[in-house]
Amino acid sequence: MEDGIILMSKNCTRINRNDMLELTRRMTLSRNCFMRAAGAYIDEDGVIDNTFNVNFKNMGKHDQQVNLDLAKTIPFSKTNEQLKCYKFPAGDMAYDSIHKLLMASSQYGLKDDLLVQTLCEQLAEGICGTEDAPNRANHLHGHEFGIYIYHGIYDIPKKGSDQSEQWESEEVYSFLVCVAAPVDNDYNAGSPKCGFIFPAFEDRSAEPGKIDVFFENPDCPDVVFLRKILGN
């Protein structure tokens, strides 16, 4: 556990709360930035039981709101406590690393089912690994849970000297929000236990070398899950 604490403090950088609040303002029914929702349901043994991949805008209003509430949990959580920013390691990474899967999944807007399934398998492996960790992913290990991944596009407006938003776009931020949460027999999601935003949203811009990782209980972060994401 001591090695995990060193890993987490070494790779961690601070998040600007205003950046996260800016994102959450685009996660409402009237100002929805999400284009697609995909993911998988994982059984008690850590095996994919079912998958889904849908156009967000084709959902009914109720389902849209349920998923917006799930996704919004991540950026709206306690900044630099529940939600922390981590750097990916420098240098080349394996072709199937989480970082490369995230880059490709974002690039294709979650439309590639094989990419999404592979990503979910990797994430489930991080949550359900066999290494002894009593607080693994905040107690999802050994339970049925869902992995929900949302692809969003945010046309970042320029800001004037008075910080008011201008009509011109400064950058298009293509990103993923991932949530892992327990589910009941009808696949209804409970309170999110862990998740992330990729790429990190830093100074109102994408930072593909970083990822914002969420744990519901910041006192018991899952080091194994974090290592799986970062490739350490």
pLDDT at 150 over 70: yes
Task: With beta carbons less than 8 A apart as the criterion, state whether 218 and 113 touch.
Answer: no
pLDDT at site 169: 72
Whole-number Å distance between alpha carbons of 90 and 92? 7
Choose the weakest-confidence range: 104-108, 139-143, 208-212, 221-225: 139-143
Please, how many CA atoms are within 13 Å of residue 68, restricted to the half-sphere of its CB? 22
Token pair of 99 as six digits: 């970082």
Q: Which residues span the domain enclosing 30?
A: 2-230
Which helix (H) or strand (E) is 106 found in, with range? helix 98-107
Task: With beta carbons less than 8 A apart as the criterion, state whether 198 and 106 touch.
Answer: yes
The tens digit of pLDDT for each residue in 81-124 reads 999 999 998 765 555 589 999 999 999 999 999 999 999 999 99
Task: With beta carbons less than 8 A apart as the criterion, state whether 190 and 181 touch.
Answer: yes
pLDDT at site 6: 47
State the Cα torsion 72-22-36-120 to the nearest 10°: -60
pLDDT at site 89: 85
The proportion of the chain whose per-residue pLDDT surpasses 70, expressed as a percent, equals 84
pLDDT at 132 over 70: no
Q: In total, how many domains does the chain have? A: 1
pLDDT at site 146: 96
Token pair of 137 as six digits: 């992913």
Task: Provide the whole-model pTM.
Answer: 0.89
Choose the weakest-confidence range: 5-9, 20-24, 89-93: 5-9
pLDDT at site 13: 84
Residue 134: count other Cβ atoms within 10 Å of its Cβ: 8
The tens digit of pLDDT for each residue in 40-69 reads 999 988 899 999 999 999 999 999 999 999
Q: How large is the greatest C-alpha to C-alpha distance in the chain, in angstroms? A: 54
Whole-number Å distance between alpha carbons of 163 and 166? 9
Phi, psi of 57 (to 5 degrees): -75, -15
* Peptide linkage before 199 cis (omega within 30 of 0): yes
DSSP string, 19-53: HHHHHHTTBSSTTB-EEEEEEEEE-TTS-EEEEEE
Which helix (H) or strand (E) is 207 found in, with range? strand 206-207
pLDDT at site 158: 78
218 pLDDT tier (thresholds 50, 70, 90)? confident
Residues whose CB is less than 8 angstroms from the CB of residue 188 and which lie 6 or more positions away in sequence, other chains included: none
pLDDT at 219 over 80: yes
How does the average pLDDT of the chain come out, rounded?
87
The owner of tokens 């002894």 is 132
Angle (CA) 17 20 26, round 5°? 145
